[in-house]
């Protein structure tokens, strides 16, 4: 099972772009890279998923280099409501293992 | 509205008194799972089910039971709760066991005294 490493915490200001990088050196061929967001006392919420290159949706972008050993979640123009914990998961067959995540704090 | 519903949201109980936390999803998902979340330990999977009558242990199954008699429901049973099972519990479901988006319930905060 591919282990992920991401920063424990990050600070940003409203209106800035935030990039959270996740390292997954032993990712397997069948693994997908998925990011979830969690607010205090709420269940995690799916943000974005990708396999390679770049994926974009209405919330975020996910950049995956060719070797797939890392990925970067990009949140454009964050607001105070984006303060949350962000989890990077690498898995297939729904074997979802959550690490500690990155606690993002957006300041005014 | 597509959702995963857990009940109760909050529960305080005493050691040894059997309890059940219910989980229901209305998306016809095959895959369902239970997690517990503790400070400093993150989310850990307790049990999962790939379909009706198919369940399997996750990382921390001790002290818990589950059943999957019908597709929409996946109750978590604590036969004899102990204080170390005080935690925040989440149920999740996804379309199938492949790489699909998981939907989580609102959580159940359980305190065992």
Residue A2: the pLDDT is: 62
CB contact under 8 A, A43 and B97: no
Between the alpha carbon of residue B10 and those of residues A59, A99, A100, B7, B53, the distances in Å are 31, 25, 24, 8, 28
Instruction: List, as one string, the DSSP characters of chain A.
Output: ----B--SEEEEETT--EEEEEE-TT--TT-EEEEEEE-TTS--EEEEEESSEEEE-SS-EEEE-TT-SEEEEEESS--GGG-EEEEEEEESTT-------EEEEEE-
pLDDT in tens, B49-103: 999 999 999 999 999 999 999 999 999 999 999 999 999 999 999 988 776 789 9
Residue B42: the pLDDT is: 83
With cut-offs at 50, 70 and 90, classify the pLDDT of residue A60: very high
Q: What region does A93 belong to: left with phi over 0, alpha with psi -120 to 50, or beta?
A: left
Q: Which among B43, B95, A50, B111 has a CA at the least distance from the CA of B103?
A: B95
Within 8 A of A32 by CB-CB distance, chain B residues are: 99
pLDDT in tens, A18-50: 999 999 998 989 889 999 999 988 999 999 999
pLDDT in tens, B30-53: 999 999 999 888 889 999 999 999
Distance from CA of A68 to the nearest CA of B (A): 16
Q: Is residue A3 less than 8 Å (CB to CB) from chain B?
A: no
Q: What is the largest CA-CA distance in chain B?
A: 39
Q: Which among B28, B33, B34 has a CA at the least distance from the CA of B3?
A: B28
Which of B4, B96, B102 is the closest to A46 by Cβ?
A: B102
Q: Is residue A29 less than 8 Å (CB to CB) from chain B?
A: no
Is residue A47 within 8 Å of residue A59, measured between CB atoms?
Answer: yes
| DSSP structure class, residue B73 | B
CB contact under 8 A, B107 and A41: yes
pLDDT in tens, A67-76: 999 999 999 9
Residue A30: the pLDDT is: 87
Q: Is residue B82 less than 8 Å (CB to CB) from chain A?
A: no
With cut-offs at 50, 70 and 90, classify the pLDDT of residue A1: low
Q: Is residue B27 less than 8 Å (CB to CB) from chain A?
A: no
Residue with the two structure tokens 């036969």: B79
């Amino acid at each position: 099972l591919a282990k992920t490493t991401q920063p424990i915490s990050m600070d940003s200001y409203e209106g800035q772009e935030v990039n959270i990088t996740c390292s997954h050196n032993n990712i397997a061929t069948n693994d997908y890279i998925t990011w979830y967001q969690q607010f205090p006392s709420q269940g995690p919420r799916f943000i974005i998923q990708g396999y390679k290159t770049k994926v974009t949706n209405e919330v975020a972008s996910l950049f995956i280099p060719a070797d797939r050993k890392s990925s970067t979640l990009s949140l454009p123009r964050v607001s105070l409501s984006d303060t949350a914990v962000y989890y990077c998961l690498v898995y297939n067959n729904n074997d979802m293992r959550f690490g500690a995540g990155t606690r993002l704090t957006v300041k005014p | 509205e597509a959702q995963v519903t857990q009940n109760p949201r909050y529960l305080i109980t005493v050691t040894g008194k059997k309890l059940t936390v219910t989980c229901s999803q209305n998306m016809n998902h095959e895959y369902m799972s239970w997690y517990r979340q503790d400070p400093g330990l993150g989310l850990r999977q307790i049990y999962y089910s790939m379909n009706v009558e198919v369940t399997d242990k996750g990382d921390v199954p001790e002290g818990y039971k589950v059943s999957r008699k019908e597709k929409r429901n996946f109750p978590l049973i604590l036969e004899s709760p102990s204080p170390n099972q005080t935690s925040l519990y989440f149920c999740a479901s996804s379309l199938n066991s492949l790489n699909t988006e998981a939907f989580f319930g609102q959580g159940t905060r359980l305190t065992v005294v």
